[in-house]
Amino acid sequence: MTTDSTRPSHDDPGLQPERTDLAWNRTMLSMMASAGVFLRWLPQHGWFAGCLIATATITTVAIGLGRKRRLQRAIEGIHQGIVQPPAATVTALAASVITLSLLGICAILFNSLAV
């Protein structure tokens, strides 16, 4: 079995960095699924649904672009004995999810008021 020399290694038997990376992958998948749900709203809500789709897509791309850096930082943290959580990333993701939730609720409420 050959090992990938470009992939950083660590001595964590629990594979914590890999599990965390998989969790971020699931988060990306959830955001893509949300964008798919918002696609169904396009005929009814128009540009408003487009904003929801754009927000979910931008969040997905941002998570994807930072994956390698987060994994590398986690592995370096294991070697150094202390792992710093990605507070800015988690805060930005929370803000994105809250924004999507509030905009989704507004779309539902304003649609029910218009009927």
Per-residue tens of pLDDT for the chain, all 115 residues: 445 555 556 655 556 777 888 888 899 999 999 999 999 988 888 888 898 999 999 999 998 888 888 888 877 877 777 777 778 888 999 999 999 999 889 888 887 555 4
Number of independent structural domains in the chain:
1
Does residue 25 lie in a domain region? yes
Q: Would you state the pLDDT for residue 111? A: 73
Does residue 7 lie in a domain region? no
Distance CA 50, CA 98 (A): 17
Domain with 55 in it: 16-114
CB 60 within 8 A of CB 28: yes
Closest CA to 93 of 38, 53, 55, 54: 55
